[in-house]
Amino acid sequence: MTDIDRATQAVREDRLWRRHLDMAKLGGTARGGVNRQALSPEDAAARNQLMAWARARGFSVSTDAIGNLFVRRAGSDATARPVLSGSHMDSQPTGGRFDGMYGVLAAFEALEALEDAGIATRRPVEAVAWTNEEGSRFQPGAMGSAVFAGHYTLDAMLDVKDWKGVVLRDALTETLAAAPAPGRGERPGFALDGYVEAHIEQGPRLEDAKTTIGVVTGIQGSRRFVVDIVGEEAHAGTTPRAARKDAFVAAVAIAGAMQEATRDADDTLRFTIGRVDVLPGSPNTVPGRVSFTIDMRHPDMEVLDAHEARLRAIVATGAAPCSAGIERVTSVAPTVFDPAVIDLVRDAARRQGLSHMDMPSGAGHDAMHIAALCPTGMIFVPCERGISHNEIENATPADLAAGARVLVEALLRLANR
Ligand code: HGY
Ligand code: MN
Ligand code: MN
């Protein structure tokens, strides 16, 4: 029996499923989802849980200056560049039990399978939980992996505030004090030899195709904006409409115009206004200020550029008698994964007799930043009706384990090449 067979057979579906159920209790919600937002007490609890499991297996743990958490299984060549696998443990406010967490636990399961099978790898293999992938509390998202890749500066991210004004630096200090681990270097980032991330698809294509493994070819481009509209607070009972500078009326006009302007015939562009803050938020005061977020995605940068120009034009002309501005918070170019890693994933699925299909990712992932550092790829498994960013998000133990078996094969091949 080959090392690869021994490693894939050492993946345990029951252990992997039970770990998901254990983690789902940390920030668990009444509807069966999770609210485990970045750098919250629930996030710290998940970090401590992962580190407890890691220490029990004799793996070493460390965190870097943005809080990325690493679980390292030593290789025979300690100086060799490690192979990494992971995702994120932070969730949406009404998130599911598998988004992100599956990638972290599948990576940990791969380490355990290698350990149980007694397989020595030349390179160290590490599981990673990237800080703040969701970006729902602190914008931008995929923050930990972006700082690791040098795409955002650590200092700029430490100064970011959440919607309540909490500074990320303080939330990070609190989290690392609650979930302490040895530091890893002064600044985030170290040389990698390869990265493979497992994730639920967060869309319906695998389930519709009755296919177990998604061989991910890349990730579409994404941009985030914040629109800020300033009017004038006034008395709701005494102020005539003609005299009002109602920031909410302007926001509705602008948002409606944007929805129309971004409608495309083939329904490829993704345009979402996910958060709206109306100030002062009193029923009997005309809103003086409204801000809202925009999340826009498309596989083609030129299409994103053209739509961004449209959004800016709408903001420039559509707010009168209020004033309005639009700020681009993030822009991540479409990601194309490494052909050799794509082949590795596809060959592993084929060798293991699993149904598989090549497909792009509509969702963003930490892999979009790590792809700039080393050969990178992703593995998708189905989720029920493609539903995600929703507490009813669901997946099956068998599919999760199948993805973990493909992952351990890909990691073993990368770690010994
Ligand atoms: O928004 C995304 O694409 C990711 O799920 N955070
Ligand atoms: Mn995710
Ligand atoms: Mn997500």
Give the binding-site residues of ligand 1, using a 6 Å CB cut-off: 133-134, 141, 363-364
Q: Which of 36, 199, 202, 390 to mutate to test the pocket of ligand 1 (most atoms within 8 A of CB)?
A: 202
Average pLDDT over residues 213-235: 98
Cross-strand pairs, 215: 358, 379
- Of ligand 1's listed atoms, the one at least distance from the Cα of 133 is 6
At 33 the three-state DSSP class reads: coil
Residue extents of the structural domains in the chain: 3-219+334-415, 221-332
Q: What is the residue type of 317?
A: T
What is the tens place of the pLDDT at every residue in 358-377? 999 999 999 999 999 999 99
Cross-strand pairs, 125: 73, 83
Based on C-alpha coordinates, what's the Rg of the chain?
A: 23
Tell me the CATH architecture of domain 3-219+334-415: 3-Layer(aba) Sandwich (3.40)
Distance of alpha carbon 88 from alpha carbon 101, whole angstroms: 6
Packing angle of the helix pair 41-56, 101-116 (nearest 10 deg):
10
In this predicted structure, the answer to whether residue 277 has a pLDDT above a threshold of 90 is yes
Average pLDDT over residues 150-175: 98
Task: Provide the pLDDT for residue 186.
Answer: 84
Task: Provide the pLDDT for residue 304.
Answer: 98
Query: pLDDT band for position 202 (50/70/90)?
Result: very high
Task: Classify residue 405 by its DSSP letter.
Answer: H
Mean pLDDT score across all residues of the chain: 98
Check whether domain 221-332 has CATH 3.40.50.1000, yes or no: no
Tokens of residue 413, six digits: 């091949």
Cβ-Cβ contacts under 8 Å for 228 (sequence gap 6 or more): 289, 290, 291, 324, 325, 326, 327
Pairing of strands 125-130, 83-88: parallel
Task: Decide if 147 contacts 157 (C-beta within 8 A).
Answer: yes
Task: Provide the pLDDT for residue 185.
Answer: 87
What is the tens place of the pLDDT at every residue in 284-322? 999 999 999 999 999 999 999 999 999 999 999 999 999
Query: pLDDT band for position 142 (50/70/90)?
Result: very high
In this predicted structure, the answer to whether residue 39 has a pLDDT above a threshold of 90 is yes
Distance of alpha carbon 308 from alpha carbon 313, whole angstroms: 9
Residue with the smallest CA separation from ligand 1 atom 4 is 364
Packing angle of the helix pair 397-415, 13-24 (nearest 10 deg):
110
- Of ligand 1's listed atoms, the one at least distance from the Cα of 100 is 5
Task: Provide the pLDDT for residue 387.
Answer: 98
User: For the chain, what is the largest distance between any 2 Cα atoms, rounded to a whole number of angstroms?
Assistant: 83
